[in-house]
């Protein structure tokens, strides 16, 4: 799969807050405004949130993190959903641990979530590789992008 876009998530890692507790390390979620158990996927999730906020000027109050969604008969949880200025779904982001490759299976997982959400963009990242797809209403074919979508202004 050759859909990778160049983004440097480590450019914002100085904005990540981590603390040690008696139960292990925690990372501060700037959207949910609470401490979360630090796991590789959570590290990637917080990096992409900070990157999109600091570098691409996506407003933090338009992010939703880990909410439930139906995918057919099953229930799932999206990682990140970003809403546009009118609070309509704009980008669905699926985050994986750096050890998990972005494959067609990951694209299918995000696409299943998006059946209900109907965001025009799906992005997938494991922190090392990032892929963004535009789902045009006019075309049945997804379009792989060469850059991250720009946050829309009214």
Q: What is the pLDDT of residue 57?
A: 94
Residue at 1 is within a domain: no
Q: What is the pLDDT of residue 61?
A: 96
Q: What is the pLDDT of residue 71?
A: 55
Could you tell me which residues are beta bridge partners of residue 131? 4, 124
Q: What is the pLDDT of residue 115?
A: 85
Asked if residues 52 and 65 have their Cβ atoms less than 8 Å apart, the reply is: no
Token duo for residue 34? 């609470």
- pLDDT, tens digit, for every residue of 84-106? 999 999 999 999 999 999 998 98
Identify the three-state secondary structure at position 30.
Answer: coil
Q: What is the pLDDT of residue 77?
A: 79
Residue at 64 is within a domain: yes
Distances (CA, A) of 58 to 19, 23, 153: 26, 33, 10
- Tell me the CATH number at 18: 3.90.1570.30
Q: In the chain, how many domains are there?
A: 1
Q: Which residues of the chain have pLDDT under 70?
A: 1-2, 69-75, 138-139, 154
- Structural domain range at position 54: 9-144
Identify the three-state secondary structure at position 84.
Answer: coil
Identify the three-state secondary structure at position 85.
Answer: coil
Residue at 2 is within a domain: no
Residue at 75 is within a domain: yes
Spell out the residues 6+ positions from residue 61 whose beta carbon is closer than 8 angstroms to its own.
none
Q: How many CB atoms lie within 10 A of CB 46?
A: 26
């Amino acid at each position: 799969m050759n859909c990778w876009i160049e983004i440097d998530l480590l450019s914002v890692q100085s904005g990540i807050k981590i603390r040690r507790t008696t139960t292990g390390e925690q990372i501060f979620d700037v959207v949910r405004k609470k401490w979360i158990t630090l796991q590789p996927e959570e590290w990637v999730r917080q990096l992409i949130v900070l990157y999109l906020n600091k570098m691409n000027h996506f407003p933090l109050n338009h992010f939703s993190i880990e909410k439930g969604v139906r995918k057919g008969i099953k229930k799932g949880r999206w990682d990140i959903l970003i809403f546009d200025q009118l609070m309509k779904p704009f980008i669905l982001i699926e985050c994986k641990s750096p050890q998990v490759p972005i494959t067609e299976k990951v694209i299918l997982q995000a696409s299943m979530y998006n059946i209900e959400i109907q965001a025009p963009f799906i992005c997938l990242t494991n922190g090392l590789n990032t892929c963004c797809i535009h789902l045009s209403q006019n075309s049945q074919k997804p379009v792989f992008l060469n850059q991250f979508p720009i946050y829309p202004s009214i």
